[in-house]
Amino acid sequence: MLFPMKEKVVLGFSGGLDTSTAVLWLQEKYDLDVITVTLKIGQKEDFGNIEEKSKLLGAKKHYTIDALDEFADKYISKCIKANGLYEDKYPLSTALARPLIASWLVKIAKQEGASYVAHGCTGKGNDQIRFDITIRALDPKLKIIAPVREWNMNRDQELEYLKAKGFDFKPSRSRVSVDENLWGRSIEGDILEDPSAEPLEDYFEWTVAPEKAPDKSTYVTIGFEKGIPVELNGEKMKLSDLIVTLNSIAGQNGVGRIDHMEDRAIGFKSREVYECPAATCLIEAHSELEKLILNRNQLFFKKLVEKEWSWLVYAGLWADPLRRNLEAFIDSTQDFATGKVTLKLYKGGYRIVSRSSQYSGYDLNIATYSFKSIFDQKNALGFIEIWGLPTILSNLKSGGGDE
């Protein structure tokens, strides 16, 4: 006797409490065959253990996808060129990874003939937006299930549910929720929900406390080609390796801790804490290189573009055509973004101490205050007269301006 085949769902699977519960819940409530997918994008996990856990929970198949270089080359590189910082602080580490994961869920769903895609996002965060919109943009026919958003269970209830199904799940001992990838580590929960509370030192893994950092400064020199970091301290590296190395160097110097109040796309404020050592250094260095090679008009307009680009990524609109339109402009500004920038790292602080490029817009013969200057200072008088004319005339008309 032939039995009808069950429909399939592809679930983004971390092996944590939420997605482990989701495997069982999708089988029970929706009567679906579950296929789990885990992407390797720089998180420190036992991927063999994650796959074994998926099988024990009853998933029909598990995929482990090594997407580290794809993440670096197709997502992080764009963030560096855009100097991507949401609200001038957050380097978009988690936000950048979500459309990549979503794209792989869609790929596997097509490959497996699945009708459903599922993720472990809550109904309070930004990630649900990033997953839902990207998946629907890539394949509108796929149906999306967000178990955590639907069941509204708390942590204890999830543990009870797993226990009732015969699984003795051992939750993480960490008091905080952590999301980690190559570009950064986000930390939420526990006392961090109080904006006035200082983060505990044991929340951090990538960065040492600034007061415990070395007493001697560390210098790092980053080489760029067309806006992409390609060299660290004189050694050529692919982008993913360069980021891993710089995460270690900067983190050992206490650089890369971010603590700020963030306006979530869904509408409320959230206190967010991140560790982004390499991202902090690379965006600062790239931005400084641009100041050397771009003119004032380019820099002014690019800042506007960067802000909009960062908002689109943060707000889950990676698939929006405006992002690609903005990147066309950004890429056009990177033709001459080739050069070297040196940062000095010391006990949590960082500053640019050197920058050079064969395409530099700086002319020593004009800028110097020495007798070698070729700039005729008498020309300034006419410039000031014309530059200030609107302001002077406005004040004459209004009777002299402020008292």
Q: 275, 206 in Cβ contact below 8 A?
A: yes
pLDDT in tens, 292-338: 999 999 999 999 999 999 999 999 999 999 999 999 999 999 999 99
User: Which residue has better confidence, 306 or 366?
Assistant: 306
Q: What is the CATH number of the domain that holds 260?
A: 3.90.1260.10
Number of domains in the chain: 3
Asked if 316 and 226 sit in the same domain, the reply is: yes
Q: pLDDT band at residue 288, thresholds of 50, 70 and 90? A: very high
DSSP state of 190: G
Q: Which strands make up the sheet holding 33-40, listed edge to edge? A: 61-66, 33-40, 8-12, 116-118, 143-145
Q: pLDDT band at residue 223, thresholds of 50, 70 and 90? A: very high
CA–CA gap between residue 302 and residue 332 (Å, rounded): 11
Give percent of the chain with pLDDT exceeding 70: 97
Q: pLDDT band at residue 1, thresholds of 50, 70 and 90? A: very low
Asked if 83 and 137 sit in the same domain, the reply is: yes
Residue 2 lies in a domain: no
pLDDT in tens, 81-112: 999 999 999 999 999 999 999 999 999 999 99
Give percent of the chain with pLDDT exceeding 90: 79
Closest alpha carbon to 228 in 42, 356, 72: 72
Lowest mean pLDDT of 20-34, 192-206, 364-378, name the range. 364-378
Sequence-ordered alpha helix ranges (H) in 225-314: 239-252, 277-293, 296-314
Residue 3 lies in a domain: no
Q: pLDDT band at residue 39, thresholds of 50, 70 and 90? A: very high
Q: What is the CATH number of the domain that holds 380?
A: 1.20.5
> What is the average pLDDT value for the chain, to the nearest integer?
93
Q: 221, 232 in Cβ contact below 8 A?
A: yes
As a whole number, mean pLDDT of residues 56-71 equals 97
Asked if 54 and 202 sit in the same domain, the reply is: no
As a whole number, mean pLDDT of residues 260-264 equals 95
Active site (catalytic) residues: 18, 98, 127, 177
CA–CA gap between residue 221 and residue 181 (Å, rounded): 23
> Which residues form the domain of 392?
364-396
